[in-house]
Structure formats: C-alpha cells, structure tokens
C-alpha cells in the first residue's frame, strides 16, 4: 500500500503503478500532458518503465487558455 | 488596395532566427468558449499564440476537447507562458513542463509576477529565472517592467525578445510611459514587443509607431463586446502602426502651420 | 483574413443621402508631383478627395496636364474647398465658381480661416457663409473649431457634415481635445469628421474610436517620408479605429487587473 | 479700345471679345475652368454670346491640389 | 521665506487701469453657508469675487443676512456675472440690473451659455452681448471658448479681459487644451484669465505657467472636502505658477540628461 | 493670509523618527556660484540639502571657501548622495566616506546609475547596496525607478524612504507615469518622495497631490532663468500640492457639469 | 384694481403703489436690490415718484452666491 | 623612498609620513575631509598615528555641490 500526492490530492495504490498505467487510469492516454515528479520532469519515453514510489509528489499538466 | 502592404513587400518579424508575417501575438484566455477563441485568433492573423500550463482536473471531463485540439501546434506557434508564477523556481519548473508537453519546443514567454493585485512583474525573480532558462537552452521572450537598464540586462543574459508592459495586465490603460519604451528601443538590439495594457486599436498602433517590433495582447480582444471584430481591428492597427513607422511621419509643429492648399492664385476680394 | 471587415459587412458612411465605403477623405495638395498624388490617393482607398480653386496662370503651360485629368470626377467624388478664404464672401464666390467648374456639383467643403499664421477657422464668418451656401442649394461639409454649441448651430443651419479640427491645419499635433469631440458627437446628428491636425496613423484611429464618422487629412500623408506607404497605413488605421469603435472596447481599469490566464491549477510551489 | 482686369492683371483689347473668344486666346478652350465677371458667375453656356466690357474684372479659375 | 515674493516685488494684475495684488478671482456659490464662504475667500486672498444676480424670494426671510453683508463691496471688488443666461438679451438686462444694484459699478463678467447640460459658452450670443455692453460703458470680462480668433475679436470689441475655459464649468477636468490657450496668449493683448474647469492646485499653477494673467474658479474650492484649506492651496498655486512663469523654467530634454552632481572627481573603482 | 497654512497647523514630514517642516529637498549642484546656491536654498525653505562627495583637487585653491562653509551642517541637514556611482561597491564606499566626513551622520541618499547617458537607476545594484548600507546602520533614502514591486522590496530591506523618479535626472520632463507612483503609494508605508525629473512648479504640485510625502529637485531650480525666484515658486508649489491633497479635491466630471450659480431665480426672458 | 407680474407671480393692488411703497411692502427697504420694469431699469432715485401700472412686469433682484 | 597613489596620482616620499602629516602638507588641516586607504575608511582619530605605506592607494574627499 503506497500513497502519493497527485496535483495536490492524496491517492493510495495497493501496488505502485508505472506512470504509463497511472496515465491510463486517469484517462489521459494520448493526450498532450506533461508530468513532474518531485520537482523533476518525467520524460514521456520513460512512462512505461518508471513506477511511482510511496510519498511521490506528481504534477500532471496540460495547456489551457492564457495570455 | 492600391499597393502591396508592408508585410507583402517583406518586413517580417524575426525572432530567434525564425520569421513571422504577423507582428501581433495574442493570448488564448478569457474567451466565452473555444469557438470564439478560434474565430478571434483567425481574425487577428496571429501566428504565435500564448497558452498557460495548468494541472489537469483529475478524472474530470476526460473527453472534452482541449485547447491544443482547437489551436493545434501544426497551425500556430504555441508560446507557453508562466502566468501565475511568483517565483523564479515556479516559472522555471512550469516551462520545463511546457517543453516536455510540446515535444522539446524551446520558445517560451517568461513572466514572474510581483503580486496578485497589480500583476506587476517581479524583476529580480524574472532575471534569476531568465539566467536559468537561457542556460537550459530555452528561447526566452521575457515580460518585464519598462526599465531600460533591466531590459538591456535581460538582452545580455540572452533573452531573444524583451516585452515591457504598456500598463498593468488586464488594465486596458494603454501606453502609460512611451518615453521609457523609447529609451529601451534606443538601447536594446533584440526585438522589443509591448506586452500587457493594450486596451484598443490605437494603443497597438502607437506601440508600433514608437518602433516596437510587435505587440502581445489578450484581454483587449477577449473582453471587447465583439472579440472577433476587435481582433480584426487589432490586426489592422498593428499593420497601420508598423507602416506609419516605416513611412516616417510628418514633423509635429505646434504652430506656424503651412496650408495644404497653395496660397497663391486666390481670387481677389471683391471691392465693397 | 479570418473575417469580412466592417466595410464589407456593410457599415457605409452616409452623407447627403449618398453612401461611401471609405471613411477617409484625403486632400490633393503638397505632393511632389501628380504621379505621387495619384499613387497615394489610390493607396488610401479614398473615394472623396478635396481640391482647391485657383486662378489659372494666364498664358502659361497651357498644355500641362491638370489635376482633374489625373483624378477625374468619373473616378472620384471631387470636394472643392475654400482654402485661403478669410471672409464669408470670398468663400461663397469660390464655391459658386467650383459648382460651375464641376457642372453643378453641390457637395463642397467650406472653410473660412481666421489668420494666415494659425489657419484656425473664423467661425462667425463660417456661419455666415454656411447660411448663404445652404440657401443656394449647396451640400456643405463645414470645417469648424471644436465648439459643441457652434457645431450644433451649423447642423441646424443645414450643413450635411461638421468637421471639427483635431489641431491646427498642417500641425500634425493629433487630437488635442478629445473631450470636446465627444461632446460634439453627443449632440450632433449629422456626420462628424475630424479635419486637420492628424499627424500619424494612431491619430486617425483615435478619432474613429471616439465615434467620429470619418477623417479628412492631407499633410500627414503628403509630407510623410513615404507618402504612399503612409496612405496605406491611414486606410488601415481608419478601418481599425472604426472596427474598434463598433466592437466595443474593454473597460479601462487603473488597477485591480484580472489575469488573462486562469488562476487555479497553478502547480504547487516546491517545498524548500 | 477697352481695358479689363483678368486674374488681377490689366488687359487691353481693340474691340471687346466674347468670353468664348477670350477663352480661345488663353488656350483654355475645352479645359475645366470657371469664370466670374464682376463677382458674378458666367455660365459656360453663355460664353459665345457674352462680350467683355470696358472695366470688367474677370476671374478665370481651375481646380488645383488642395487639402 | 528667504525672499520677497513676486507680489511684494510688484507684479500686479492690471485690468481696466486698476491693479490687484491677487491673480486669483473666486466665485461665491456652492458653499455650505456664508461663514464657510467668507472663510474660504479670506484664505484665497482673492480681491475680486463673482456674484450672481437673482430674483428675491418675495416675502421670504426678509431679515436673513444677504451675501453682500458678508462680503461687502467696501472690502472686495464685486464682479457680477450673468450665470444662467442663454441669450445676449438676458445677459445684458442682468448686467444692467447689476450696475444699478452696485451703484453704477461697471466691471462685470459676461457669460452666455449654450445649453444647461454642458454649460459651454454660446459665442455668437456672447459676442452680440459684448458689443452692446461695451457700447453702454461696461468694463467686460468675458467668459469664452478657447478659440483664438474669437478671443481676438472680443478684444477688438473692447472687452477688458478674455476668460477662456480650461474645461467645462464645474467639471474639474483641468486644462484640456493648453495649446489653444498658448495661441490666445500669443495674440491677445488684454489680460487672459482661465475661467472654469480648474479642479485642483496644479491646474491653477499650469494655467499661470502658460503665461495667463489670472485664474477664476469656484467649484474647485467650494466642493473640496476642506474648502478653506483648498482656498489656501489655490492662493499658493497661483503665486507659484506665476513666479515659475516669471522665473523662466529649465528646458525640457527627453533625453541626454546632465547630472546635477559634477562628473569629475569620482573616487576610483576598487580593483577586484 | 486668512488661515494658518498646513505646515503651521502641523503636518510635518517624518523620516527616521525626525520631523521636518519643509517637504522640499533640494540639491546644491549646477549653480553659478555659492552665493546663488545659498540664496536659492534659502528661498526654497528646504531643511534638507543634498551634496556630492568628490576627491579634493590636491594642492589647489586650498583657501577657497567650501560648500559646507556656505551651507553649514549646523543650519541644514546635509544629505550626501552617491551621484556618479555605477556599482553597489562604489556607492557603499562613497557613503562610508560621507559618514566619516560628517562625523558619523547616518542619513544618506543612495543612487546607483545604469548608464551615463540616461542616468536611469540600476536597480539590481541599488538593491545590493541598500542591503549593505542598512546592515551598516545607515538611514537610506533610496533613488529608484517607479517599479512598485522593487519599491516595496526596498522598504522591506529597511530603507527609510523610497524616492522614485518622475522622469530622467535633469530632463525636466515632469511626472511621466503618475499611475506607477499611485501604485507605489498604495503599497509602501515609508515616506515616498519624488526624485528627479521635476521641471517646473506644477510638476511639484502634482507629485504632492498624488500623495507623495515630499519632492527632491536640483536642476529645475538651478537651471531656471531666475533660480531664486523659481526656488520660491517651488516652495509654494510643494505646499500648495500638499494642502490640495489634504483638502481633498473635487470629483472630476467629464460632463454633466453643475453650475456654480443657482439655477433658480433667473429673470424672465423678455417676450419678443 | 390693477394687476402686475412681480418676479413671475401675479399681484393685485386696489390702487397703484409707488415703487418705493412696493419695496416697503416687500420689506426690502434699505436692502441692496435693483428693479427692472418691463425690461427697463428703474433708477433707485425714481422709486418715490414712479407708480406701477396695470400689466407691469417687475423684476426685483439681489446679489447671491455665484461663480 | 616610498610611492603611493593619491586621488589617482602618484606621489613619492623619502620617508613615510603619517596621515596627519600628509593632510598638513596638502593644506587640508582643519577642513571637512574624509580619507580612504586601500578601500577602507581611515578614522580621523587615527591620522596622527597611522603612517602611509609603499603602494597605498589613498582617496581624500570633500563635499561638493550635487543633486
């Protein structure tokens, strides 16, 4: 059982998913997003291999209208 | 029209080695919906559009269209900004995310704000962020105050364009201090674009007549009663101002006007 | 462009029952030669052009081309003016000659000047001339000061358009008192065109943004370094200002700006 | 022998010409002009019949560039 | 203070052969009560005060004090005005009554208004009234628009002072068109006083710095939060503006500033 | 005068725990000679005067009087500045010398310039110097740009007064951006004095009307045609502006003016 | 019985008073006033002798605060 | 024989003077001055005891008119 912070909200997982699996769950697969883990960018190429770890702080972002 | 306009005869905006026909950069915020956003941006003729980087709403409206579906990078140069950032660190992290999001895209707009009420830039934090971003290979267009010494410093740091404010973001107050812009234009060699404060078409024309290389705006278009018509007005105003700058305006004479009609050959006053 | 412009969607200038697509009226004086005159006027898109009435140079250059050969009444609406007249009587006589010269043409520009140094209008003489000309069936577009009471009186006399100055003829000082123009626009029902004082494109845009129906200029184009390019700039500036007026500009806020980018969804500041 | 003032300059004629003849002499025939005699417009239609008289003040005008 | 001020060294306002130490003329309307009126006028240092002429309220408050008891002609030069008059005839009748009321007093302020909303002067009616009043021996100080040709005509009619508006009566907008005031000052030989539109102390100083001979105001003092303190501020502002005009201001230089401290003798930068 | 002025009723300028009756600080440079310097400063009523620190001319005019003989610290508060310094280090060293020169005097004016042509302040260097000087116990009055975020930061560093420019040093251009000054006044709690750019009396009045606590100037007085008279004008202008600020100006109304004379009781128009 | 208009209001009198008597009635004696009758000024010196006539329009004015 | 830099100019001395002696030589005794040696302030109280050393850079300053 692990806990992470995702865009400021707490999430639990029975077993740590890969970033790719997490993106899948969030229905964000194929969308233009970017992910930061503990202040570091996670390159898209590494989503399949990288597993989230207990205590991770993740930020998942998209582009929105702005000036 | 009786002549090819300045754009057609070749007066492109050149930044970071690329050229653009339009000198108007527009934001994508504050519109009623994506349809209005797209229609206004089309009317503006803008080739570069700014976007903000924000957290996804986890688990919500997963299927709704996203901004970049409506304004695809294939059609526009996307300029991610750091709106909402109050520290150099947040701005740098936001643009690293933007670069990843946009497949390594390097052209970005840096802005670090001083407070949420005035949205005036925090220049010490902006300078710190600019140094980091330039070192990391970003092509930084930087939102700044109208301090000519700071503008020169930002150029020396390696920013590819400096973007002084005309007035506060969202204020629509127009160009409050054209003299400072003039001093910046006299000193800085990279493109100078006026960013923030434009309220109506003449404000944009004035900025271009001063010799600025371009104008960036959002609220003036999005919050007009008819954003699409205003977008078209802004396109013409930026071109008009640029052409007036290139054409070289007449001298101002407070006095001693000279008539536009010849002063000889006037018919004789009738004897009374 | 992404949208039909205001002209195309139908926003004509209507004066004396006629309609014009262009809201820019240009003078024909002060150009290097007739070729430059014609090129600049074509670039301006103007449909109405002003001409002065002068004595022929008896026995001289009988065969040189005349202005109306280069700018024929078949292609343009010729607006004869009374430039150089300092009395109502001279102005009336000049326009009677103009009407004869133009085969009964009734649309004229009345101006009676106060002195040769300022070229400021003499309103008492202008009012007297306007009464006579209206009585004789002329359609009088009248150059006037920016006095809202006098402007209203000129409308009541029967002038078909009032044309207050922005600043002194040939000064290029721009709009010195937009508040008076606003008061005139609030009171007068006939078209209000700004005449005299425009110096560059933004001046024309500002006049239109105030709600003026059109702009008349000569020196700003003829005495620009590149008159033809400036003429094109003025065309765009007048259209931009008109469209901005119709589009309804955003509100000005000295303060309390609202960001153009959403303020929620900002990424979390990193714990330090 | 008569004398008139033409555009401010004095002119003599052995015998008074018609306006049409005068216009002919001035090589202005067919040009866009207008003529005022003693403060009154002379309609183009009357050029052939009207003769200038001794002391007449004539103004012959054209359109020129003006603002 | 280290020096006698301009007034003391002798720089009087001269009108119609009389001299005044103060160049500030104040109105007596819009005050809370007569006590405030008197206190403010004393603080202003004004020697000339304007009054309006109105019907008595028949049979009412016969014993209440009247304005001229509080501000007696023995202490102030009373300047009756024609406020509220919209025709030459009403203005002339009002000033004839004023002359009778003030025992043959000839110095008057003529104003004929165009409409009740703008209170902008009606110059044709004003000119007509001025001719009549001058012919009847009045010494006419005339409220007028800022048209230099009309101002010159009013001087030629025989008015002893012309008083162009800074902006609309009661608007407090300040001097909207200093250029027209400058042209008037270049042409008119009688005293030129700015009347109407002054809103705060700096407005009065600017009027005097332009070279005006005096300033007339009412609302700016009466409607300040503290009328008495504002009256004192206006006194100083008019004197400051006058002295600055007489002292001859420094030249403006947009650029190429010269330091106020010597540029030689700077200590050596430390070797690092 | 009819009332004690604001100074007399007690509205002192309070800085670093001390109080001053005058809100006008004047420089001592650019005068013809020491006699003119002293006469102008006396006329200005200034209690605080700025001086520059420079190398002695070794072996020259050992017996000529020095500035501080003419303007002794016993009569004036001497405010040493760092004019001519372009780095934080030079500014700090200059003020350490000044403190020694003035027997431990702590009140100083810090200015670090960006370049010799514009004399615009270099804010990053100024901030660095301010931190060092405050740490060393100096009471720092700091010359700065008109950036409200930087002004707030300088207050937080511990500067006892912030002194934003009105326009470039020696330019006499007046207050180019009153809106920024307003934002600074809304945010900063220490005294705000306008420094540099004042050209004439009304400029000083406007600065005070905005709510500034004082004004510092040199060239406007020293380079007037009559410096002593201008000094007196500036004294009155600063007091007038301060009193107008305290008195609370009338509201501005572009329109809908209300007459200063009552609108009832007008005599009846005559039947015609 | 006569009727006059006094400052726009109608007034009746059994017999026509002099201006002086009218001023007395209005309690304006000794005050700074001026009087216009039918568009003409009535000099103060003539108040005692001049009688108001039927149909007269009188304006009685004072000085009030004005700008 | 020592050499110092005084306000940017080179000076030689047979033997190193005290600051007080130097000030005396410069005819600055009793005047309002301040002295920096090698970037450090020299307190007035120490003028009598402190000797200049070979290679010293001295700045001697006064107050002048400035804005």
* pLDDT band per the 50, 70, 90 thresholds, residue B60: low
pLDDT at res. E267: 74
Residues of A in contact with B61 (CB under 8 A): none
DSSP labels for chain G?
-EEEEETTEEEEESSPPBHHHHHHHTT-TTS--EEEETTEEE-GGGTTTPBP-TT-EEEEEEEEE--
Q: Give the DSSP letter of residue D45.
A: G
pLDDT digits (tens, 9 = 90+) for B148-191: 999 999 999 999 999 999 999 999 999 999 999 999 999 999 99
Tell me the DSSP string of B25-85: EEE--S-SSHHHHHHHHHHHT-SEEEEEEEE--TTS-TTS--HHHHS-TTTSEEEE--TT-
For residue F186, what pLDDT is reported? 93
CB within 8 Å: F98 and H67: no
Chain D residues at the B interface, defined by Cβ less than 8 Å, are 8, 36, 39, 57, 59, 61, 64-67
Higher pLDDT among residues B9 and A57, named by residue: A57
Which residues are registered as beta bridge partners of F53? H63
Cross-chain residue pair A64–C267, CB shorter than 8 Å: no
Model pLDDT, residue H33:
93
- Split at pLDDT 50, 70, 90, the class of B18 is very high
Buried b (16+ CB within 10 A) or exposed e, C149-161: bbbbbbbebebbb
To the nearest whole number, what is the mean pLDDT of chain D? 92
Q: What's residue C1's pLDDT?
A: 33
Residue F50 tokens read as 């700025």
In angstroms, rounded to a whole number, what is the distance separating the alpha carbons of residues C108 and C132?
13
* Span between the terminal Cα atoms of chain C, in Å: 50
Q: Flag whether pLDDT at F251 surpasses 80.
A: yes
- Is it the case that residue A32 has pLDDT exceeding 70? yes
Residue C262 scores a pLDDT above 80: no
Give the model's pLDDT for residue B7.
47
* Average pLDDT of chain B, as a whole number: 91
Which pLDDT score, from 0 to 100, does residue A29 have?
Answer: 87
**What percentage of chain F has pLDDT greater than the value 90?**
81
Distance CA B113, CA B127 (A): 12
| Tens digits of residue pLDDT in F162-209 | 999 999 999 999 999 999 999 999 999 999 999 999 999 999 999 999
Tell me the two tokens of residue B260: 């536009």
Please state, in angstroms and as integers, the Cα–Cα distance from residue F179 to each residue in B173, B196, B251, following that order: 10, 15, 29
Predicted pLDDT of residue F1:
33
Instruction: Name every residue whose Cβ is closer than 8 Å to that of residue E4 and which is 6 or more positions away in sequence.
Output: none
Tell me the nearest-neighbour CA distance from E162 into chain C, angstroms: 17
Paired strand residues for H10: H5
From chain E, the residues in CB contact with G39 under 8 A are: 93
Closest Cα of chain E to C176: distance in Å? 6
Å from G39 to nearest chain E CA?
A: 7
Arithmetic mean of pLDDT, D33-45: 93
Rounded distance between C-alpha atoms, residue F32 and residue F68, angstroms:
16
Chains C and D contact (Cβ–Cβ under 8 Å for 3 or more pairs): yes
Contact E120 C176 (CB under 8 A): no
> B250 touching D, CB under 8 A?
no
- The mean pLDDT value for H1-7 works out to 92
Q: CB B167 to CB F145 under 8 A? A: no
Compare all CA atoms of chain H with the CA of E272 and give the residue at the minimum distance: H39
Q: What is the pTM of this model?
A: 0.92
* Amino acid B266: pLDDT: 73
Among E127-131, F267-271, H55-59, where is mean pLDDT lowest?
F267-271
**Band of the pLDDT at B270, cuts 50, 70, 90?**
low
pLDDT-derived band at E2 (thresholds 50, 70, 90) equals very low
**CA-angle at C151, arms to C148 and C152, nearest 5°:** 90
Q: Is E59 left (phi over 0), alpha (psi -120 to 50) or beta?
A: left
Q: Is E109 annotated as catalytic?
A: yes
Cβ–Cβ < 8 Å for C31, D67: no
Chain E residues with CB-CB distance to C153 below 8 A: 124
**Predicted confidence band of residue H67 (pLDDT cuts 50, 70, 90):** confident
Judge whether A2 and A54 are in contact, CB under 8 Å.
Answer: yes
The CA distance from E159 to E179, in Å, is 22
* pLDDT score for B220: 97
Longest dimension (CA), chain F: 93
Tell me the average pLDDT of chain F: 91
Of the candidate ranges A29-43, C246-260, E210-224, E258-272, the one whose mean pLDDT is the lowest: E258-272
When mean pLDDT is compared across B227-231, C194-198, D59-63, G26-30, the lowest value belongs to: G26-30
Q: Going by beta carbons, is chain G in contact with chain E, meaning 3 or more pairs sit under 8 Å apart?
A: yes
Going by C-alpha positions, the residue among B147, H65, C100 that lies closest to residue F54 is H65
Q: What is the pLDDT of residues E17-59, one digit of tens each?
A: 999 999 999 999 999 999 999 999 999 999 999 999 998 877 6
| Residue F26 backbone dihedrals phi, psi, to 5 degrees | -125, 150
Q: Are residues F123 and B150, on separate chains, in Cβ contact within 8 Å?
A: yes
Q: Which residues are registered as beta bridge partners of G18?
A: G51
pLDDT at E8 over 50: no
pLDDT tops 80 at residue C260: no
Pairing of strands E139-144, D57-65: unpaired
């Amino acid at each position: 059982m692990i806990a992470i912070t995702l865009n400021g909200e707490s999430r639990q997982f029975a077993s740590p998913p890969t970033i790719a699996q997490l993106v899948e769950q969030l229905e964000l697969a194929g969308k233009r997003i970017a992910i930061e883990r503990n202040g570091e960018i996670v390159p898209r190429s590494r989503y399949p291999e990288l597993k989230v770890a207990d205590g991770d702080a993740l930020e998942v972002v998209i582009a929105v209208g702005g000036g | 029209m009786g002549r090819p306009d300045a754009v057609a005869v070749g007066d492109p905006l050149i930044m970071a080695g690329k050229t653009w026909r339009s000198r108007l950069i527009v934001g994508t915020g504050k519109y009623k919906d994506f349809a209005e956003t797209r229609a206004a941006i089309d009317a503006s003729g803008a080739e570069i559009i700014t976007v903000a980087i924000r957290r996804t709403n986890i688990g919500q409206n997963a299927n709704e269209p996203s901004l970049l579906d409506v304004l695809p990078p294939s059609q526009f140069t996307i300029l991610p900004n750091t709106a909402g950032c109050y520290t150099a660190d947040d701005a740098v992290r936001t643009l690293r995310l933007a670069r990843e999001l946009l497949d390594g895209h390097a052209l970005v707009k840096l802005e670090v704000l001083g407070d949420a009420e005035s949205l005036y830039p925090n220049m010490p934090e902006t300078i710190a962020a600019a140094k980091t971003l330039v070192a990391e290979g970003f092509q930084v267009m930087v939102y700044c105050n109208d301090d000519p010494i700071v503008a020169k410093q930002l150029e020396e740091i390696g920013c590819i364009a400096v973007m002084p404010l005309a007035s506060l973001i969202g204020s629509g107050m127009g160009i409050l201090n054209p003299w400072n812009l003039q001093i910046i234009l006299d000193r800085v060699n990279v493109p100078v674009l006026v960013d923030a404060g434009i309220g109506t078409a003449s404000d944009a024309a004035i900025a271009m007549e001063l010799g600025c290389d371009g104008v960036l705006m959002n609220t003036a278009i999005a919050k007009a009663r008819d954003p699409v018509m205003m977008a078209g007005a802004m396109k013409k105003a930026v071109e008009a101002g640029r052409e007036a700058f290139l054409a070289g305006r007449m001298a101002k004479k407070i006095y001693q006007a000279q008539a536009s009609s010849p002063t000889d050959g006037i018919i004789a006053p009738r004897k009374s």
